[in-house]
Amino acid sequence: MVRETYTYTSKMNGMANLESIIPKCASFSHIKQLQAYIFTSGTFKFSRARSKLLDLCAIASFGSLSFAISVFRQIPSPFTNDFNAIIRGLVQSPQPSTAFAWYRSMQRGSFRVDALTCSFTLKACARVLAATESLQLHANIIRFGFMADSLLGTTLLDVYAKVGNLSYARLVFDEMQLRDIASWNSLIFGLAQGSQASEALDLFKRMEVEGLKPNEVTVMGVLSACSNMGDFKEGEKIHGFIRNQKLDINVQVCNALIDMYANCGFVDKAYGVFDNMGCRKCLVTWNTMIMAFARDGDGHKALKLFEQMEKAGVQPDAVTYLAVLSACNHAGLVEDGVRLFNTMGKHEVKPNVKHYGSLVDLLGRAGRLKEAYNLINSMSMVPDVVLWQSLLGACRIYKDVEMAEIALRKLVEMGSNNCGDFVLLSNIYAAHARWNDVGRVRDAMKNREVKKVPGFSYMEVDGSRHKFFTGDKSNARWKEIYSKLDEIRFKIKELGYVAETSCVLHDIGEEEKENQLCYHSEKLAVAFGLISTSEGTPIHVIKNLRICGDCHAVIKLVSKIYERQIIVRDRVRFHKFKDGFCSCRDYW
């Protein structure tokens, strides 16, 4: 009797000690020693320490998921927690989708799935963008009666937003009994980064109405919405709110502010925030600001900041190099770009496919096609389509048929059926008057059912956004817009403008081609800006693709004739038109 009591207490103490030691494990060998102890001491069968250790082993950087799995296999009848430990580890592994199989095996084996199991498995959905699996899990969660769990609800809505199912994210949000700040933040981020940025702002305003206090995460979400939409006015209001609430002591909030101003075309204001930060700058701060100068085409400021960053003792990372390379690219600083690329190794940054892409683009634009081609072939990794597309684009500038054919062949081999690629090759043939080849490309396009990404542009007036597609007549004032375009066409012809019809592929007459160019989305947006904003105010336009060559030429003239500053944010950079010139100095 006495002896039994003794054994009992010592065992309890042993387990308690064991559990308190587990978080102190600092190496794989510590884990293994404890695991061996649990195995041999007889506590393996029921011990809670077992699943805790499994958990640590599966997720810690010094742990080993495969070892955790092999230990799991030794458990005669694993508990839910043991499964959870493994699933959590799988989600963070390079193959998150393996978590689904484990989840299913739990159900098959009639093991109890709990809210945590669902939470981890949902995370796997988010990581691999598994839309169907998230729906299935949602159904399970309802069936198990877990919907009242607000943490799980937030995870679910977050996953829906991340896999692109915004309407379901909203639905979950609306149906949650208990919504806390994280639920709101999650939906705001989802909307901001999806295609419903203005809805994110609406939600932010609704928070105020419902008496909820936005925190630093919330403002980062709405700033990212403003950044995406180029909504400078709202962004500035939020900046005011941030100052009031003293949220700018948070470095991430400051970074989001810099990004917002830069993405709205106000690189100076971005720098203002950068220069007056009340908190310590971090790597992302420098990267964001360098990227801002890069997108603005100010290569020298970007490179100067890069030097300052090094002096401040901040080690550059892969993103920093991408930013400086792209700065060199947009500013035509070829030698600097090549030099920087070659010094990456010194900072222990390994070039990835994006760095190569930037350098190929840089060399190509500078007419060094052969070097660009050799660079692609020298890569140790598989080149992606972007590299060949860059080379193809450069071939068009320099009218290099041979190289263009190689690039397009590669693209076709890689399964690309992007309309733009074929058009580029066709343009090059056309430039050499090789009309048979032009026809051949056109036939190939018909046979392949090439995909065309529709171009569109935004223009914001008085807080509402107007979206234009090519030849769009959906705007309430479309008639005025089109007659403004007629007026523009008339005026610029007087200045000697000739339409650049080479980028129109269709088998139609010159006049018809000119008409097609005439109603490109960016032109519609600029014309709308002219008629709907007061004289002398700048016009901001955002385009989803790169600006077209003809539009570029026309907008330069428009900026002169109408004495307007016109700022176009395209897919990769800003074009700031003033007095007939563009900030890109026609190098893009």
- List of residues contacting DNA (CB under 7 A): 19, 48, 51-52, 55, 79-81, 84-85, 112, 114-116, 118-119, 123, 146, 149-155, 158, 180-183, 185-186, 189, 216-217, 220-221, 224, 227, 251-252, 255-256, 259, 282-285, 287-288, 291, 317, 319-320
Helix H or strand E segment including 568: strand 566-569
Contact (CB, 8 A) for 350 and 356: no
Give the chain's largest Cα–Cα span.
110
Q: With respect to DNA, which residue has the nearer C-beta, 58 or 503? A: 58
- Beta-carbon contacts of 170 under 8 Å, excluding residues fewer than 6 positions away, are 157, 187
CB of 201 to DNA, least distance (A): 16
Residue of 76, 88, 70 whose CA lies nearest to 32: 70
- Please name the amino acid found at residue 450: V
Q: With respect to DNA, which residue has the nearer C-beta, 123 or 484? A: 123
CB of 204 to DNA, least distance (A): 13
For 278, phi and psi rounded to 5 degrees?
-90, 0
CB of 273 to DNA, least distance (A): 13
3 state SS for 317-353: CHHHHHHHHHHHHHHCCHHHHHHHHHHHHHHCCCCCH
Q: With respect to DNA, which residue has the nearer C-beta, 152 or 264? A: 152
Contact (CB, 8 A) for 90 and 98: yes
- Beta-carbon contacts of 570 under 8 Å, excluding residues fewer than 6 positions away, are 543, 545, 546, 547
- Beta-carbon contacts of 264 under 8 Å, excluding residues fewer than 6 positions away, are 226, 227, 230, 231, 232, 235, 540
Q: With respect to DNA, which residue has the nearer C-beta, 283 or 419? A: 283
Q: With respect to DNA, which residue has the nearer C-beta, 179 or 556? A: 179
- Laid out side by side, the sheet with 574-578 consists of 464-469, 456-461, 539-543, 566-569, 574-578, 581-582
CB of 485 to DNA, least distance (A): 34
CB of 137 to DNA, least distance (A): 12
- Please name the amino acid found at residue 512: E
CB of 283 to DNA, least distance (A): 5
What single-letter DSSP state applies at residue 548? P
Q: How far is CA 165 from CA 67, 127, 138, in A?
A: 36, 14, 13
Report the half-sphere exposure of 146 (CA within 13 A, side-chain side): 21
Q: How far is CA 202 from CA 221, 222, 226, 242, 377, in A?
A: 12, 10, 12, 17, 49
Contact (CB, 8 A) for 416 and 385: yes
Q: With respect to DNA, which residue has the nearer C-beta, 216 or 460? A: 216
- Beta-carbon contacts of 584 under 8 Å, excluding residues fewer than 6 positions away, are 297, 330, 573, 575
- Please name the amino acid found at residue 185: N
CB of 122 to DNA, least distance (A): 8
CB of 538 to DNA, least distance (A): 23
Q: With respect to DNA, which residue has the nearer C-beta, 147 or 461? A: 147
User: Interior CA angle at 259 toward 310 and 184, to 5°?
Assistant: 130
CB of 10 to DNA, least distance (A): 17
3 state SS for 43-77: CCCCCHHHHHHHHHHHHCCCCCHHHHHHHHHHCCC
CB of 454 to DNA, least distance (A): 24
Q: With respect to DNA, which residue has the nearer C-beta, 280 or 506? A: 280
Cβ-count burial 506-534 (b if 16+ within 10 Å, e if not): eeeeeeebbbbbbbbbbbbbbbbbbebbe
User: What is the rounded CA–CA span in Å between residue 436 and residue 422?
Assistant: 15
CB of 44 to DNA, least distance (A): 14
Q: With respect to DNA, which residue has the nearer C-beta, 322 or 441? A: 322
Q: With respect to DNA, which residue has the nearer C-beta, 146 or 266? A: 146
Q: With respect to DNA, which residue has the nearer C-beta, 282 or 444? A: 282
CB of 274 to DNA, least distance (A): 12
Q: With respect to DNA, which residue has the nearer C-beta, 89 or 455? A: 89
Residue of 27, 144, 29, 135 whose CA lies nearest to 80: 144
Torsion on CA atoms 146, 149, 152, 153, rounded to nearest 10: 100
Pairing of β 581-582 and β 574-578: antiparallel
Q: With respect to DNA, which residue has the nearer C-beta, 147 or 386? A: 147
CB of 215 to DNA, least distance (A): 7
CB of 190 to DNA, least distance (A): 8
Q: With respect to DNA, which residue has the nearer C-beta, 210 or 462? A: 210
CB of 249 to DNA, least distance (A): 13
Q: With respect to DNA, which residue has the nearer C-beta, 81 or 502? A: 81
